[in-house]
Structure 1
Amino acid sequence: MSGVVTALTEHDDRWVLPFRGLTVTQVRVDFAFGLHFGDQAAVRISNAATLGWVNAGVRPETVELYPERQDVAAGLVLFNSTVLSAVAFKSGALRIVFNDGHLLKVAADDVYEAWTATGPNRMLVVSLPGGDLAVWASRP
């Protein structure tokens, strides 16, 4: 699969998640909103999220997703979308951009873990309460 990164990349203010080129093969809803990228990676969102567009000037509409209330139907549009970029900010926020122009954002939560991401080689990234990240980098 060309263009697929299999390891985390750290920058001063963020981690680039190794999701580029992965396709959403499953959307799960329980007390969280989950995106699964085959058996390679997943994101589980427990906090409110914003689904909008990369080019907000052309398509300014956004919708809020509330996993705790299972109010996430608008997120089903992400099924079969491919990730262009996925960034975990060291502030605890998450941003994923998809090939169809959708942009999914999750802010950190003051009290709860807002989201978790798993990936290749047992990678795990968790948005900690208060706005920080716990990162377990990929291991062979």
Structure 2
Amino acid sequence: MSTRSGSSAATAPARTWSIAEVAEEFGITHRTIRYYEDVGLVSPERRGTVRVFHPRDRIRLQLVLRGKRLGFPLEEIRTIVDMYDQQPGEAGQLRYLLGQIGDRRAELEERRRDVESALAELADLERRCEDDLRVLRTD
């Protein structure tokens, strides 16, 4: 653990980030971050017109983005992210999250089956087109 000018790490102020730093780190726009703030998914400190992001805000944003990547709707993401601020390990919260994961997994598995079916149909159509072309070339 490092110290600055003889002061302990425990007395050092917590690291903060600007909206530009957070946007760059997560590869999203300022507008996206402001939208997430408007809908209550993140709530950075405001110093005048400047948004100041604390570690809690970064973690919440990270959870929001993970939820988006997994295809959860924003309302579900809000419920899940709000669990971050509640007592960890509470059985009801974990059961809820497991249920949401199961539902999402089932949706994705169905989509995978649909995609696999569409790919098989395309492969069949492609094969038939190639066969028809071979017949046309021999005529």
Which category of TM-score, normalised to the shorter sequence, fits these structures? Answer: under 0.3
Q: Which has the higher helix share?
A: 2
Q: Which has the higher strand share?
A: 1
What TM-score do the two structures reach when normalised by structure 2?
0.21
What TM-score do the two structures reach when normalised by structure 1?
0.21
Answer with 1 or 2: which has the greater Rg.
Answer: 2
Higher relative contact order (CA 8 A, sep 6+): 1
